[in-house]
């Protein structure tokens, strides 16, 4: 069988990561620059453009949330969708008496993988190559884009079909390919809705969770005809009709495609097997029909052994879609002669993950298996949706993962750890027991420490003062007494307007006045009376 | 009753109860004394420090940790009428003490953590009492605060205690395990979201038709109660300790806030004010 396997001529394997990156960069720069000018001059867009104004991406979370909260339709859609999926999850999880043990096993397995990630990655690479796949390493988004672009161009095609994949969104692959004149067609139903709707995904599992069926129908009618098979004029808003319409539209793209792009839910180190878990079967089409398959995956997707799939394949479907088992689970190990793609590439992407791994507390975020249970349960996400988080990873996991991946630099990234009321519902449902509230606090601390390093802020001064007061019962007692004195001027129990930052409280609710006599003083009086 | 053996209890009043809700603390003291405990109030105590820790100011919280540790060290039991503050003391103080690098503090904190109970835990687990002899002839709904549920892990103890209160009718509350949107500084850092969350909570409470909203955390009551008061919804808010303290022989009802319905708002804003900020009072 070995003779039928492809050689690994394009995989760059040298012991040091930096060297790998360097070589990859040089190999591909020449290829991409020569075509870049050509594509820029002659071609318009091939695929629907994403929203032209990435305003929300740069706004800090509270301001983005303010804008999105105004959209009543969005809130109604989100509420309906999150509540439905939440209760489905709850009922299927309740069926398993050993659910808590499963969660612990999942967490322990992912921790084991992350603790020895370097050796598991090398094991994965060796097994992939042995099975005829070609392995590429990308240290950041730009490098991953270059590798994929080069591989597609080497086959002389200008379009590819895609399976829904988070990492390709993270590295903004579609737009990079578009710039090179390559059309990347999303084939997942929800991703198709998002792509045709000139929109951005708002959930990692249900990217079009913010759309209802009427909106989907409108998008299909308006856009499909511009990019291929048109939607029938009498299209109904019935889910079955919409799905059939999408199936029709995608069929010609599947049959035409020579190259497919995918992500991976899991990469099994001891066998070199990649795994995709999906519901619709479009992924299966991409994985089996085209001649060439390029799978792009984050390095944290590695799991040690094929037995470990037993854990995650129980945890994932129940936590994500609320199903006992997902309809399609595809696994492939390199190239199988005469069956499926005869050229298989795997691009292993770092893009900030080693930085996350370096933080002993923050690294727990890398356990994530992208089930979206934390989003669906989150009262904050439920009200604003994914777009407010300014990242492909929204919700509680996004609030801890995005700032770490990107390095906690921008105003948005610094606001994300605060995008939670710390209610803890997310940690309760996480299938791999990521302690999300603890991570949020850890990152808040990092934000505060970084601000402190640069200047003395107002908030910091206030906190320091209050901290000083709270250092002594006597000082705090005095403050309580002063607070009680305000009742001399304000007799009412509630006040409707507070000044300055207090406005943010009284904008929606009244503020209770402090007690005339604090407990501390009442206690002292009581003790005196007793004597 | 096992309460005959006198237990020496230090009251962990918490800062918000001390200044804003002294009646809750007094009710806790009277209840515990009624059940045969000897209650003390160590005046060095201040606050659990959650305000600092949860905003990312870990170093600023250490003073509070020290204050609590020194206040509670000499006592047999520490009891606080707050799931959130007790949860913070138990879950966050050891971490903060470790951060301070002070090994003596770490040991004291560990000892304090082991003997700290939320009021309902102390009643059910330590005293072994579910029927505290309370009488409260009203309909109530119970908001299970997030931290009492997921940090202090009180489970169904508050409900078990309420079920034994004579005259009390516990009504179901829609989405009772959902956050009210307070979240400490969250309410100021994300005011619009917090407003949207508390609006929904207030709507559910109003819909329940109960006379009282009960929790084991006055911080949530301050938030939800403020929204109820703003909307002119005549549901009163009360801490569970005050219900458990009240008895049939008492002439006075426990101190509760009596919201004065704002007529103008009632007529002007019949619908849900959900999430819309800046409306304010006329």
Model confidence over A258-276: pLDDT tens digits? 999 999 999 999 999 999 9
pLDDT bin (cut points 50, 70, 90) of residue B177 is confident
Position A497 pLDDT exceeds 50:
yes
Residue of A nearest to B28 (CA): A519
- Judged by average pLDDT, the poorest of A57-61, A338-342, A458-462, A470-474 is A57-61
8 Å CB contact of A476 and B259: no
Q: Among A266, A302, A292, which Cα is nearest to A112's? A: A302
Task: Identify the structural domains of chain B with CATH numbers, from first to last.
Answer: 2-126 (1.20.1050.140), 139-268 (3.40.50)
Q: Where in chain A is the domain with CATH 3.40.50.10420?
A: 2-47+117-184+259-354
Give me the interface pTM, i.e. the ipTM: 0.88
* Burial track B208-239 (b if 16+ CB lie within 10 A, e otherwise): bebbbbbbbbbbbbbbbbbbbbbbbbebbbbb
Which residues, numbered 208 to 247 in chain A, qualify as contacts with chain B under a Cβ-Cβ cut-off of 8 Å?
none
Instruction: Phi first, then psi: give them for residue B139, nearest 5 degrees.
Output: -90, 135
Any B CB within 8 A of A476 CB:
yes
pLDDT bin (cut points 50, 70, 90) of residue A12 is very low
Q: Which pLDDT belongs to residue B268?
A: 40
- Taking only the tens place, the pLDDT of each residue in B114-152 is 999 999 999 999 999 999 999 999 999 999 999 999 999
8 Å CB contact of A493 and B257: yes
Which residues, numbered 107 to 136 in chain B, qualify as contacts with chain A under a Cβ-Cβ cut-off of 8 Å?
none
What average pLDDT does the segment A89-96 reach?
97
Instruction: Tell me the Cα Rg of chain A.
Output: 27
Any B CB within 8 A of A485 CB:
no
Residue of A nearest to B48 (CA): A470
Helix B93-100 to helix B83-91 angle (10° resolution) is 40
* Domain A2-47+117-184+259-354: assigned CATH number: 3.40.50.10420
Q: Which pLDDT belongs to residue A53?
A: 58
- Taking only the tens place, the pLDDT of each residue in A306-324 is 999 999 999 999 999 999 9
pLDDT bin (cut points 50, 70, 90) of residue A455 is confident
Any A CB within 8 A of B161 CB:
no
Most confident of the following: A397-406, A449-458, B269-278: A397-406
Q: What's the gap between Cα B25 and its chain centre?
A: 10
Chain B residue numbers touching A509 (CB-CB < 8 A)? 195, 198, 223, 226-227, 229-230
Mean pLDDT of chain B: 89
Instruction: Tell me the Cα Rg of chain B.
Output: 19
What average pLDDT does the segment A478-490 reach?
93
Q: Which residue has the tokens 């405990």?
A: B37
Chain A residue numbers touching B225 (CB-CB < 8 A)? 512
Position B273 pLDDT exceeds 60:
no
Position A278 pLDDT exceeds 60:
yes
Tell me which H or E stretch contains B108.
helix B103-114
Query: For chain B, what percent of residues have pLDDT higher than 90?
Result: 84
Record the tokens describing residue B121, joined without a space. Answer: 């835990």
pLDDT bin (cut points 50, 70, 90) of residue A54 is low
Position A127 pLDDT exceeds 50:
yes
CA distance B195 to chain A (A): 6
What average pLDDT does the segment A15-44 reach?
39
Q: Among A378, A124, A414, which Cα is nearest to A273's? A: A124
Q: Who's near B154: CB < 8 A, 6+ residues apart? A: B83, B118, B120, B121, B148, B216
Q: Which pLDDT belongs to residue A35?
A: 37
Position B280 pLDDT exceeds 80:
no
Mean pLDDT of chain A: 90
Any A CB within 8 A of B40 CB:
no
Instruction: Phi first, then psi: give them for residue B214, nearest 5 degrees.
Output: -115, 140
CA–CA distance from A521 to each of A108, A288, B242, B254 (Å)? Answer: 51, 77, 19, 19
Any B CB within 8 A of A19 CB:
no
What average pLDDT does the segment A349-375 reach?
97
């Amino acid at each position: 069988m070995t003779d039928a396997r492809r050689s690994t001529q394009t995989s760059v394997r040298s012991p040091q990561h930096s060297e790998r990156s360097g070589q990859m960069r040089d190999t591909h720069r020449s290829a991409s620059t020569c075509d870049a000018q050509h594509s820029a001059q002659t071609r318009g867009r091939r695929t629907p453009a994403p929203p032209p104004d990435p305003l929300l991406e740069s706004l800090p979370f509270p301001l983005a949330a303010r804008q999105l909260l105004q959209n009543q339709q969005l809130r109604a859609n989100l509420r309906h969708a999150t509540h439905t999926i939440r209760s489905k999850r709850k009922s299927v999880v309740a069926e398993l008496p050993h659910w808590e043990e499963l969660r612990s096993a999942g967490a322990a397995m992912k921790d084991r993988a992350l603790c020895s990630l370097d050796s598991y990655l090398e094991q994965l690479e060796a097994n992939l190559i042995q099975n005829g796949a070609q392995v590429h390493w990308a240290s950041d988004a730009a490098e991953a884009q270059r590798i994929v672009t080069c591989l597609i161009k080497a086959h002389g095609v200008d379009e590819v079909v895609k399976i829904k994949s988070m990492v390709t969104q993270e590295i903004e692959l579609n737009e990079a390919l578009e710039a090179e004149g390559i059309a990347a067609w999303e084939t997942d139903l929800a991703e198709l809705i998002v792509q045709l709707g000139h929109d951005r995904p708002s959930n990692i599992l249900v990217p079009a969770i913010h759309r209802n069926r009427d909106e989907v129908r409108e998008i299909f009618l308006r856009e499909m005809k511009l990019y291929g098979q048109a939607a029938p004029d009498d299209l109904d808003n019935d889910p079955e009709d919409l799905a059939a319409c999408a199936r029709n539209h995608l069929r010609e793209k599947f049959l035409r495609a020579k190259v497919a792009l995918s992500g991976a839910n899991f990469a099994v180190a001891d066998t070199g097997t990649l795994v995709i878990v999906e519901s619709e079967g479009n992924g299966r089409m991409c994985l089996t029909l085209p001649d060439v398959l390029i799978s792009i995956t984050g390095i944290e997707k590695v799991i040690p052994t094929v037995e470990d799939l037993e854990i995650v394949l129980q945890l994932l479907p129940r936590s994500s879609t609320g199903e006992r088992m997902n309809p399609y689970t595809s696994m492939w190990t390199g190239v199988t002669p005469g069956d499926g793609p005869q050229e298989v590439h795997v691009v292993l992407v770092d893009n900030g993950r080693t930085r996350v791994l370096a933080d002993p507390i923050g690294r727990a975020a890398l356990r994530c298996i992208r089930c979206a249970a934390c989003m669906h349960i989150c009262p904050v996400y439920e009200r604003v949706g994914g777009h407010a988080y300014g990242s492909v990873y929204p919700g509680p996991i996004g609030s801890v993962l995005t700032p770490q991946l990107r390095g906690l630099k921008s105003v948005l990234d610094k606001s994300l750890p605060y995008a939670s009321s710390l209610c803890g519902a997310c940690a309760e449902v996480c299938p791999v027991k990521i302690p999300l509230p603890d991570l949020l606090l850890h990152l808040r601390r990092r934000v505060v420490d970084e601000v402190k390093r640069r200047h003395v802020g107002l908030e910091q001064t206030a906190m320091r003062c209050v901290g000083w007061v709270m250092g002594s019962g006597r000082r705090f007692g005095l403050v309580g007494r002063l607070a009680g004195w305000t009742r001399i001027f304000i007799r009412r129990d509630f006040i409707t307007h507070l000044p300055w930052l207090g406005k943010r409280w009284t904008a929606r609710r009244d503020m209770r006045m402090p007690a005339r006599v604090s407990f501390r003083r009442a206690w002292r009086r009581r003790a005196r009376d007793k004597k | 009753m096992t309460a005959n053996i006198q237990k020496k209890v230090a009251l962990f009043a918490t800062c918000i109860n001390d200044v804003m809700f002294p009646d809750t603390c007094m009710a806790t003291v009277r209840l515990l004394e009624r059940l045969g405990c000897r209650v003390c109030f160590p005046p060095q105590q201040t606050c659990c420090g959650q305000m600092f820790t949860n905003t990312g100011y870990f170093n600023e919280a250490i003073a509070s940790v020290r204050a609590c540790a020194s206040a509670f060290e000499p006592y047999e039991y520490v009891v606080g009428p707050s799931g959130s503050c007790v949860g913070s003391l138990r879950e966050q103080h050891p971490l903060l003490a470790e951060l301070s690098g002070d090994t003596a503090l770490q040991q004291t904190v560990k000892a304090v953590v082991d003997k700290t109970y939320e009021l309902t835990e102390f009643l059910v687990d330590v005293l072994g009492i579910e029927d505290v002899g309370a009488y409260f002839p009203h309909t109530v709904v119970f908001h299970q605060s997030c931290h009492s549920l997921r940090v202090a892990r009180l489970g169904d103890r508050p409900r078990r205690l309420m079920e034994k209160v004579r005259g009390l009718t516990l009504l179901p509350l829609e989405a009772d395990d959902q956050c009210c949107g307070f979240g400490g500084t969250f309410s100021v850092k994300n005011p619009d979201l917090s407003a949207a969350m508390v609006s929904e909570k207030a709507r559910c409470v109003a819909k329940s038709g109960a006379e009282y909203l009960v929790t084991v955390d006055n911080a949530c009551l301050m938030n939800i109660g403020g929204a109820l008061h703003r909307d002119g919804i005549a549901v009163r808010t009360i801490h569970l300790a005050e219900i458990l303290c009240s008895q049939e022989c008492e002439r006075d009802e426990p101190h509760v806030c009596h919201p004065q319905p704002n007529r103008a708002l009632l007529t002007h804003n019949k619908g849900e004010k959900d999430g819309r900020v800046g409306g304010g009072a006329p």
